[in-house]
Amino acid sequence: MTDSTRWQEAGGAGADPEYACPIAPVVDIVFSRWTTPILWALHEYGRQRFVELERRLGTITPKVLTQRLRQLERDGLVMRTYYPEVPPRVEYEISELGRSLAPLFATLAEWSAEHLRTVEQARTDYDARKEGAGRRRT
């Protein structure tokens, strides 16, 4: 089946974007603002307590980290383990489903290493053209 056949079967240009692009739901799940860094940290450094993860991520707020971890747990990408101790202890780790994203992240890291400078240069060139065009109008 060709890409254009898949597109047509998914509804083509007039379809709901979720159905027109089969990877859209995955992008929504995996590539939200903090999801990728959380998954990356759990994959790279293993099981972590909330505070460890918070420190590793830097600028994330506790509220946002809590929300993202809950969503990732709901999606099956992260496992939460509660230890009924005094004081209580909670640890987070990436699930097997979350680990299955490793090849995707590796491919994206490779693409980034190969192409990010080109993207940055394209942005610089674009901004310079727009800035030059704006000066000519005044």
Per-residue pLDDT tens for 86-136? 999 999 999 999 999 989 888 988 999 999 999 999 999 999 998 877 666
Q: Is residue 46 part of a domain?
A: no
Number of domains in the chain: 1
- Domain residues for 117? 101-138
pTM: 0.72
d(C-alpha 84, C-alpha 81), whole Å: 10
Q: Is residue 118 part of a domain?
A: yes
Q: Is residue 9 part of a domain?
A: no
CB 34 within 8 A of CB 71: no
d(C-alpha 46, C-alpha 44), whole Å: 6
Q: Is residue 23 part of a domain?
A: no
Per-residue pLDDT tens for 52-68? 999 999 999 999 999 99
